[in-house]
A and B are shown apart, each in its own frame.
Chain A
Amino acid sequence: MSEQVKKTHGESPGWSPYLAGALLGLLAIISVYLTTTLMGKSNYLGASTTFVRAAGLLFQSVDPAHVAENAYYVKEKVKVDWQFMMIIGIFFGALISSLMDKSFKLEAIPPTWEKRFGSSIAKRAIFSFLGGIIAMIGARMADGCPSGHGLSGMMQLSMSSFIALAFFFGVGALVANMMYRKGQ
């Protein structure tokens, strides 16, 4: 315990990741059961489709005709659905949890990044933004992210999810090690 506290610089260490993860597994089971019985279809935890719907909703306010005609928006349906609300819920759940154990902290730049690439917020913002664009194009192409493929797909033993996660992490590890090579 004291070692863990030291590692996080005095901040409360939170729960064991094994325990928090196991409870998330239970949430996934309950969630599939409830969506099946209450909504008539088995919904699994996921996140990236919501970003398509968010883009569609924003674009709709500028050019509704274009969104109505776009094959991908038609396919994914631009609406505030179950998953969209779940993503909003994630924000509030994290906020509540971090306020409860006082781990909430306004942070402009991640410590690991700052140590390696300096304290420029603009630099971090640009890389973060570009990384986000690439990541989401990839997630939509693969039809899932570490939630949809990583958690939900692997729980169901989906073949595509095992391979997708291997690529997510394998390529991620390769790029991260290139970025941080000199910093070590």
Chain B
Amino acid sequence: MSIEQILGLVTGIFFGFLLQKGRVLRYDKQVGAMLFKDMTIFKFMLSAIIIGMFGILAMNDMGIIKLSHKAMNVGAILVGGSLFGIGWAVMGFCPGTSVGAIGEGRWHAAFGAIGMIVGAGLYAELFPFFKSTVLSWADFGKIGLPEALGINHWVIAMIFTIITLIMFRWFEKKGI
């Protein structure tokens, strides 16, 4: 194994460990959030985002790392995002959690994972079609919210953190 592969494997083991400890690898938790009955996956995700955000923005300011935005392609995000939402609700797992769910014995997640490999293969075949249709509508490029809004990134990070903490309080108050 190359250093790249070993690094990936070790990172993944920690990733999977934390996903499992947070109990987010469950169909019931993912669909539970969509039904607004159990917000565990949001508590987990938003906590990760806030901590990660401050570290990544700081390292980027210091020039240690590079940001890697994904393109704000309007058709891709709106149509792709909607399709993903439909599939996510029906399957009850996202790509990463499906693999983790199999790891903790919830083997029914394998049907979704196989479906996703088939879906990826279909996308590869349909790529020329999508490229000339959905993906060609409008593309604002690889842009961050700070540039798009003209607001300093630390201000956005603070606002995001405050909104998240208010949401956490609300989840706890409601017991969801």
Contacts and interface: CB of A to CB of B under 8 A. Distances in A.
Contacts of A146: 45, 88, 94-97
Interface in A1-60: 8, 13-15, 17-29, 31-36, 38-39, 41-42, 44-45, 47-48, 50-52, 54-56, 58-59
Contacts of B1: 85
Counting contact residues on chain A (CB < 8 A from B), the size range is 35 or more
A41 B78 CA distance: 29
B166 interface: no
Contacts of A44: 68
B11 interface: yes
Contacts of A50: 95
Give the interface centre of A56, A103, A134, A177 by most chain B CB atoms within 10 Å. A134
A9 B94 CA distance: 25
The SS class assigned to the A binding surface is: helix
B70 interface: yes
A142 B100 CA distance: 22
Contact of A128 (B5, B82, B109): B109
Contacts of A84: 5, 8
Contacts of B78: 163, 167
The SS class assigned to the B binding surface is: helix
A160 B135 CA distance: 14
A35 B128 contact: no
Contacts of B53: 25, 154-157
A172 B89 contact: yes
Given A55-B121, A163-B72, A97 B104 contact: yes
Interface string A120-143: 010011111111111111111111
Contacts of B126: 137
B55 A25 contact: yes
B40 A17 contact: yes
B51 A175 contact: no
6 contacts: A105-B105, A128-B90, A158-B69, A160-B77, A169-B34, A172-B84
Given A26-B51, A134-B86, 13 more contacts: A14-B22, A25-B48, A110-B28, A129-B115, A134-B87, A135-B88, A140-B120, A154-B53, A155-B53, A159-B144, A167-B84, A175-B89, A179-B89
Closest 10 CB pairs of A and B: A89-B12, A132-B115, A93-B16, A135-B87, A25-B51, A171-B85, A167-B81, A138-B83, A141-B80, A21-B47
